[in-house]
Chains A and B, each alone.
Chain A
Amino acid sequence: MRSLLVASQKGGVGKTTTAVNLAALAAVGGGRVLLLDADPLGSVLACFQLSRESVGSTATSPHSEPVTGVGRYWTNVIPGVDVISPYPEGDTGEQHLQAFLDALPRSVITSTYRLVVIDAPPMLGPRPKALLRAASDVIIVQRAEPMSLRTLPAYLNLLQAARAEGSVCRLLGILLTLPEGVMPGGPAEATLRSKVPGLLPQVIPHDPRVARAVVAASALVLHSPDSPAAVQYTSLAETLNLRMPISSLVSSEAQQTPKQRKGSANVVSTAAVTSQGVSGITKHQAAPTPRETDPEQFEPEGLNTHGSEVTVDAGDAASPWLVALTIVMVLIVAVLGTLVALGK
C-alpha cells in the first residue's frame, strides 16, 4: 500500500483541495483509495460536510474506523474514496493520530486500499513529523507568494529532522499553487521553475469552482472536470503515478543515475540549516551541495515526467516582486538540494 502525504507549513495554500482531488483521481484509476484527514481542524470533513458526531443513521453518519476503533470512518464519500479521521468526537489530541499511525501497518487497511492520501495539518510540530515517519511519499504544497515561499525552509527543516529520526519518506516534489489574480505561465513562475529543483510540472491556478465544488460536497475534478485547476490536477495524478497499480512503480535504487548516487554521499550537515528561515540559509550557503547548479539533475523517483510540459510567456521586464523572489529562491535551493540528495 502506498501512502502519499500532502503537506505544507502554511495553511490556505490549497493542501486540502489537492489531497481531495488527487484521491478522487486515483480512485478513477481503479482500486479503493483512503483519504486520511490528519488535520485536527478536519478540513477534509468540512469539504464533504461530514461530522464526527454519531447521530442517527444518515448517509453522513460515521462508523468507527477499523484501525484503532477510536476515530471515524465514512465509506464512498466520493466514488471509490473512503474517508477516515483518526480523532474521536470532541477530541483532537495528537495521541490519537500517533496511535492510528502506529497501528496502521498491521491493520486491515493495508490490504483493503492500494493508496492512502493523507491531508496533513498545515503547521510544524509533532503531528507533521509523525506523518513524515509514516508516509512513503510526500508532496509539499506552496502558494506562489512571499509568505508561503519564505517559510518553506521551515518545512524542509522538519523533513530533515524526520529523516534523521529514520523517516524514509520520499519527497516527490513541490506543488505550486497560484494566488488569486496571478495568471499561470507568468515570468515569476518561469523564474521559480528554473531556480527551484523539485518543482512539480503542474501549477494549480486560483479557481472559483473549487469553492463551488465544496458547496456541492464534491471534488473539483468530478464537479467541474474541465476547469483549469481540474486539468492541472488530472495531469498531476499522472505525473505522480497515482492511477497505476503499485507493481509498476520502479524502485528508487534502480532509478538513480550514478551522478545522483554520488550526490547522496555529499549530505551537508543538518546543523547548518536552522529554523531561522533565510538567515539560516545564508550561513549554510558556504557548504557545497550536490544540487547547486543543474536543476535537470533532479529526477524524482516514482514520477512519470513524460509529456509534462510547462509553457511560459516570454515575460515582461522583471518586476520588483520577481527580482526579490529570485533572491529568496536561490537561497532556498541550497536547503532543498540537501533534501533531494537525502531522498535518493
Chain B
Amino acid sequence: MSSIRSTGNGSPEEPYVLTVTSHKGGTGRTTLALALAWLWGQRGLKVTLMDADPVQAALLVACGPVGCRWPNVTTVAAPDGVGTIPANQDVVVIDSPPATEQLAQVGLRKSNGVVLCCLADSLSLGTLPAATQAVREAKISNPNLDLLGIAVSVFNPLDLDQTRCLSLLRGAHGGLFVEPPIPVRPELRDWPLTAGADLPDGPGRQALRALADVFRDQIADAGWPQFANVQRDKRAFATRG
C-alpha cells in the first residue's frame, strides 16, 4: 500500500490536477468533487472544475442558467475524457468516472493526485481493491500520481452495519482512509435540485471542509506553493473534536 503514495514536485506555474474517482457508482464522488471546487474557490484558489464523466452530473449542479457563478471557479465539460489541462489555474478538480474505466485512466495519467470515494458497505469491501489496482496501473505511466486518500461518503453513524464496515475498511487499508467520513445529509442529497447553488450549509459542509483542509495540507506538503499560501480555516479544527 505504501507504494501508492509518493511526493510531488510541484511548480508554481502549474495547476495541481486532482482526480476524484471511485471504484463504483453512488459513492458521492461528484458531490466531493463539487464541494472541493466550491470550498477551495471560497478560499481564493483559482479552480477549474472539469467534468470528465459522460453523464455530466457535476456541471448540472455547478452551472445555473448563466453558467457557474461560484467565486473563482471555472467549469470545463469533458464528456469524452480529460483533454488539455488549463493553464493559469491553482488547481483542476476532475470529476472522473470509476477508476476501472478507460476514460478514468486518461485523466489519472494527467493527474498529480487522486482521491477515491467509497461507501461503508460490504460491496465496497469486496470491490475497493479494483480501484487501488487501477491507481497502481496509472502510476506505471505516471509515477508522480499520489493517492491522497480514500474518503467515505453517505455515512450513517447510527447504522451498525456501516460502522462495522468502516472499522473493517480502516483495518484493511490502514492509513489511507481520510477523516472524517462525509455524513448522509438531506441538504447534500438535495443540492442538485437548484442548478448553480452553493454547497449547502450544515454538518455535511463541515465534514467536507475538514476533508478539503486535509487534502490541502497534503498538497502543500508535497510542494505546491499555491496551497501553502491558503489561509487555514480554524473552524475545521473545532469540528474534528
Number of interface residues of A (CB under 8 A): 42
Given contacts A11-B24, A13-B26, A278-B195, 8 further A-B contacts (CB under 8 A): A11-B98, A12-B25, A94-B102, A146-B189, A147-B192, A180-B156, A211-B121, A324-B190
B42 within 8 A of A: no
B103 engages A12 (CB within 8 Å): no
- Chain A, range 107-154, C-beta contacts under 8 Å to B: 122-125, 145-147, 150-151, 154
* Residue positions of A touching B, CB distance < 8 A: 9-13, 40-43, 46-47, 49, 92-94, 122-125, 145-147, 150-151, 154, 179-181, 208, 211-212, 214-215, 275-279, 321, 324-325, 328
Interface string of B67-108 (1 = CB under 8 A from A): 000000000000100000000000000000110111100000
C-alpha gap A92/B159 in the complex (Å): 34
With both chains docked as a complex, state the minimum distance between the C-beta of B126 and any C-beta of chain A, in angstroms: 4
C-alpha gap A181/B159 in the complex (Å): 12
Partner of A43, one of B24, B53, B57, B184: B24
Residue of chain A at shortest CB distance from B80:
A125
Q: Is the interface of A mostly helix, strand, loop or mixed?
A: loop
Partner of A123, one of B55, B61, B119, B186: B55
Q: Which residues does chain A contribute within 8 Å of B190, judged by CB atoms?
A: 145-146, 321, 324
B140 within 8 A of A: no
B contact residues, range: 35 or more
A10 engages B55 (CB within 8 Å): yes
Residue of chain A at shortest CB distance from B160:
A208
C-alpha gap A12/B184 in the complex (Å): 14
Q: Which residues does chain B contribute within 8 Å of A46, judged by CB atoms?
A: 123, 126-127
B60 within 8 A of A: yes
B193 within 8 A of A: yes
- Chain B, range 195-216, C-beta contacts under 8 Å to A: 195
Q: Which residues does chain B contribute within 8 Å of A212, judged by CB atoms?
A: 161
B193 engages A328 (CB within 8 Å): yes
Residue of chain B at shortest CB distance from A15:
B25
With both chains docked as a complex, state the minimum distance between the C-beta of B94 and any C-beta of chain A, in angstroms: 16
Residue of chain B at shortest CB distance from A47:
B123
Known pairs A12-B26, A150-B60, A321-B190; A123 contacts B195 (CB<8 A)? no
